[in-house]
Structure 1
């Protein structure tokens, strides 16, 4: 009996999971600079260098991730990896995106708890943080050129930046307004909001994921009610079983249980990224639960901003010190490690839930003209939001102190010019020339910047 001839859908993936794992590991190791730097890195690696996914689909996925609670860059990595290699790919990308930062912050938390701040480590991170400015600037230029295709998109991006930077408008409201502009613009200015690409156009695309979707090979992207229920139940169990186990072992009012419950709550309210919820976390951790001091919170923010991984990973440092200093029944170090692991678990498990549950429906709706127009507006707004993150990151890297001033509805972040840090500014300038003019790779730029900062620290100490 003859076997049926293999179909195109049965043929092996052009990119193996092993090869993709190496790419996600590289992205995880180089993911400095908060969401702006991480989105920039993924765009550079996945769109420009490897051509796995087109700008349109990259921004389509980013739009969805920006609407979700939690770290949008992590969710974007999970989404793109899920498109290519199903659940296994999403798990690999998500874990590798978080793992380098988790290991780094855990090690630095132990050192901090035992010895306090370590100047050598802080000196290296000064150089890394400054180098990320070049990555961020390059990303804003590259993404802006490709996403802002007409004056309407430029106007929406500009309005989004003004709204969030000068008036502090909540990110969900900006998204809602941009989506409404897209819906109305479809009727008022149809040329500014073109129809989505057809499946035939996707099938002939030179971007890998777009081509595979156009050929109908990525069948797991089709929505299914039964699958949605399975995903929801499985990931809710994965999320909450460790929290319930800690409550059973140490009691509802223990520090570890409090951390599991509190950071599970923050995982579902962090709309607009970590910046939007850090003030709330700091207030509750310092003055509500009294887990840490204000100075320790600032040190944690500095670590999270300069280590790889999402900025929200500052919660790991908070949880480590809170359990290290206050949990009973365990040794301080063991309690701190347990607090770190539990907090990272409840912070990132929801990311997998949101993507694995919602991504098939987001993909199915991509061909809807009204939704496509709305998301086109959101795409333009996202450029303005990334620009806002870039300005924020630049100010807080180059200046030791940035004051926030209010003039009625207007909010301005005014740098204290006397606190200009010339070394980070110089390293950032050199890194920018290296990347933008000489096209030097990110790994070399980060390594060189860290080495410059370390050499200066050693030289200043020697003198």
Structure 2
């Protein structure tokens, strides 16, 4: 491995040379194929590959980039890949890194969605998904605990999480408004009581100063594309807004306002703007719209889609691709259902992930201005706390529709289970999956596989 000399705190040290485009291409493909485990696992994989093993990017710059991506709507792990790819090889590097991060999982998800739509009613497939739903519930509960430990550092943050839960569960406040108010609370709280709002979502300020190739390039003045010009923002907006919204507007003009295609393009473009906090945070909102507002899915099918997304590489938010596929499959019109579903999945992918490139290419050159900004860090901390409350709502929503056959509405729009409709088999599998994930620390994929097999066996002996 080629190295270059750089001056660090301990003197002159060797730092790996910047990778060639072909070298980076191979690593981005590897990350895209191995990025299982949700955003936490994907970020850890990138840190291992890019910071620890290859030292293409330094520790502090990696954490700073991650905090920036956490401020953006959309999947932060993919945005981090785009950002680092852009640092290394400009716009084409960001495009390659972002596309390869999503493409393998998207291909797998399209295949699984097709099989689900065609054969989901088969007894064996139904039995498999019966067990998968139990494991998904356990995974969501584990996400609540993991994120909660990081975000709920004091009573103020616990209170924000509680308010967010009440707002979305009992009052049906739209998810974007919850995020907006949480961010404003963090910003204002930083001015009133900064000690209570100073936590960051990721990393620590005293992380080891491990330099990488990008840092050396920056010191030498080679990263000229990272310096914003007065025309950078207008030029980026003029290029990327038409790229993102052009196909959506074209679909609207060709098919009309009421078509499923316009609904898919418009709805998921909106999701791309408001999906702060990652996939888990927005799933309850998407599930509510897909099931109740549009009628694309049944409640249990949203859980099935999340189970499929958990088994694929790439962002967990690929579950939206499943929603778009099923919506178009069932409203195919003159097209064959599989073709319509595939086009619906493609339109969903476009509306969901194209904005990620827009956010990074627009804002990345200004990232240095965000370094050390305490007000933004406080807003991010409050948003993360609110996300915990939203994910608790998601876990409750899943539990109601997995363990109980019937739910009913009560005052304030809340749903409660009909206790006599409990499915003891689903409850048993859910408890077992939670023990596997939380107590025995069994991985996500083995838990999903084991739960699916257990579902088949349990349904076979109880019929």
In the alignment, is the contact (CA less than 8 A) between 2:134 and 2:426 conserved in 1? yes
In the alignment, is the contact (CA less than 8 A) between 1:134 and 1:435 conserved in 2? yes
Partner Cα distance (2:430, 2:16) in 1: 48
In the alignment, is the contact (CA less than 8 A) between 2:127 and 2:459 conserved in 1? yes
Q: Give the 3 Å change call, closer, same or farther, for CA 195–118 of structure 1 in structure 2.
A: closer
Partner Cα distance (1:50, 1:459) in 2: 49
Partner Cα distance (2:84, 2:428) in 1: 40
Q: Give the 3 Å change call, closer, same or farther, for CA 285–186 of structure 1 in structure 2.
A: closer
Q: After the TM superposition, which residues 8-407 of structure 1 pair with which residues of structure 2 at under 5 Å, given as runs?
A: 11-12=17-18, 18-19=26-27, 21-27=29-35, 38-39=38-39, 42=42, 60=67, 63-65=70-72, 68=73, 72=74, 75-86=75-86, 87=94, 88-109=96-117, 111-112=118-119, 117-194=121-198, 201=205, 204=208, 226-229=231-234, 231-239=236-244, 252-253=254-255, 258-270=259-271, 271=274, 273-281=282-290, 301=302, 303-308=304-309, 309-310=316-317, 311-313=319-321, 314-323=323-332, 326-327=333-334, 333-358=338-363, 361=366, 364-406=369-411
In the alignment, is the contact (CA less than 8 A) between 2:241 and 2:358 conserved in 1? yes
Task: Please give the secondary structure, in 2, of the residue aligned with 1:269.
Answer: helix
Partner Cα distance (2:364, 2:148) in 1: 25
1:417 aligns with 2:419: yes
Unaligned 5+ runs, structure 1 = 31-37, 287-293
Q: How much has 1:105 moved relative to structure 2? A: 0.6
Task: Please give the secondary structure, in 2, of the residue aligned with 1:252.
Answer: helix
Partner Cα distance (1:212, 1:155) in 2: 40
Q: Give the 3 Å change call, closer, same or farther, for CA 184–318 of structure 1 in structure 2.
A: closer
Counterpart position of 1:291: none
Q: Residues 74-129 of structure 1, C-alpha deviation per residue, up to 9 Å, x if partnerless?
A: x22311222333312222223344333222112323x15xxx72221121122122
Task: Please give the secondary structure, in 1, of the residue aligned with 2:270.
Answer: coil
In the alignment, is the contact (CA less than 8 A) between 1:140 and 1:386 conserved in 2? yes
Q: How much has 1:306 moved relative to structure 2? A: 3.4
Q: Give the 3 Å change call, closer, same or farther, for CA 58–365 of structure 1 in structure 2.
A: closer
Unaligned 5+ runs, structure 2 = 7-13, 53-58, 87-93, 276-281, 310-315
In the alignment, is the contact (CA less than 8 A) between 1:316 and 1:340 conserved in 2? yes
Q: Give the 3 Å change call, closer, same or farther, for CA 446–185 of structure 1 in structure 2.
A: same
In the alignment, is the contact (CA less than 8 A) between 2:404 and 2:421 conserved in 1? yes
In the alignment, is the contact (CA less than 8 A) between 1:228 and 1:357 conserved in 2? yes
Counterpart position of 1:289: none
Partner Cα distance (1:239, 1:263) in 2: 14
Counterpart position of 1:35: none
Counterpart position of 1:34: none
In the alignment, is the contact (CA less than 8 A) between 2:328 and 2:340 conserved in 1? no
Q: Residues 2-22 of structure 1, C-alpha deviation per residue, up to 9 Å, x if partnerless?
A: xx9665787247x96545544
Task: Please give the secondary structure, in 1, of the residue aligned with 2:121.
Answer: coil
Q: Residues 383-435 of structure 1, C-alpha deviation per residue, up to 9 Å, x if partnerless?
A: 222222222222222222222322xxx44220122222222222222222222
Q: How much has 1:301 moved relative to structure 2? A: 3.8
Q: Give the 3 Å change call, closer, same or farther, for CA 62–242 of structure 1 in structure 2.
A: closer
Counterpart position of 1:435: 437
Q: Give the 3 Å change call, closer, same or farther, for CA 216–416 of structure 1 in structure 2.
A: farther
